[in-house]
Amino acid sequence: MDETLRAIGMGLVVVSAALADACVIAHQMLARWWETPEGRHVMAYQAVLAAVLTLWAVAIILPGWQWFHALRLAAFALVPPVLAWRLAIIVQAWQRGRSGHRKDTT
């Protein structure tokens, strides 16, 4: 049972990585994401997600690969700044919404 659940989980990681990579490629080819701050953020966010998932899939497919630790460091080094960027966008949107709400009630 444990081995079956492990195999299913590993398969889901590999499928998720492939889909995340496909999203980045499709977004690059089909959208003008670089034209707006929101578009740039969405691309960065999904690219970081794709990088981390792809790294995880590589670790599953090629266990003990020599370059894994260097790639892991590079992939995960990108996660905190992109998440901080996302948090700033969320807080700014909330603040804009609150300032707009105050104007409506006065």
Task: Output the six-digit token pair for 67.
Answer: 């370059």
pLDDT band with cut points at 50, 70 and 90 for residue 91: very high
**Considering only 29-38, 60-69, 93-102, which range has the smallest mean pLDDT?**
93-102
Number of domains the chain contains = 1
Q: Which residue has the higher pLDDT, 98 or 37?
A: 37
Residue matched to tokens 């960065």 = 44
DSSP states along the chain: -HHHHHHHHHHHHHHHHHHHHHHHHHHHHH--GGGSHHHHHHHHHHHHHHHHHHHHHHHHHSTT-TTHHHHHHHHHHTHHHHHHHHHHHHHHHHHHHHHHHHHHH-
Q: Which residues form the domain of 43?
A: 2-105
pTM for the full model? 0.75
